[in-house]
């Protein structure tokens, strides 16, 4: 990748992040029901479940998520099953990816 390509990619990523920030209230309203279910399944930001959910982007295997956040393998398996049954996962359970977008501080912020 050339230097110009890297610069363009960097600018595009910054624009994407700004658009996500601006769009977050509309996304939150659209996904309110799923987000409420997700909060009920996960609990507070201090749990390993919250850390695991934030790692579920469809690129990591369950084993990698266990390694990165310290959640118990069985607990993660149960969480993935519950998320799949609730319609919150969009991809394969072996590499779980959420069907909704979440801001990084989703579990830190109180329900609105």
The string of pLDDT tens digits covering residues 74-90 is 999 999 999 999 999 98
Output the pLDDT for position 110.
64
Whether residue 39 is predicted with pLDDT greater than 60 in this model: the reply is yes
Distance from the Cα of residue 85 to its chain's centroid: 17
The DSSP secondary-structure symbol of 100 reads: S
Question: 3-class SS at 20?
Answer: helix
Q: Is the pTM of this model over 0.95?
A: no
* CATH fit for domain 32-112, picks 3.90.700, 1.10.10, 2.60.120, 3.30.70: 1.10.10
Cα 19 to Cα 54: distance, rounded to the nearest angstrom? 20
Mean pLDDT of 59-78: 94
The DSSP secondary-structure symbol of 57 reads: B
């Amino acid at each position: 990748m050339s230097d110009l390509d890297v610069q363009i990619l960097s600018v595009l990523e910054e624009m994407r992040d700004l658009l996500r920030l601006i769009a977050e209230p509309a996304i939150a309203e659209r996904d309110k029901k799923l987000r409420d279910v997700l909060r009920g399944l996960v609990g507070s930001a201090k749990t390993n479940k919250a850390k695991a959910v934030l790692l579920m982007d469809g690129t990591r295997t369950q084993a990698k998520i266990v390694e990165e956040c310290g959640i118990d393998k069985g607990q993660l398996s149960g969480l993935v099953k519950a998320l799949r049954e609730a319609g919150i996962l969009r991809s394969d359970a072996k590499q779980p990816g959420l069907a909704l977008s979440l801001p990084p501080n989703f579990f830190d912020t109180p329900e609105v």
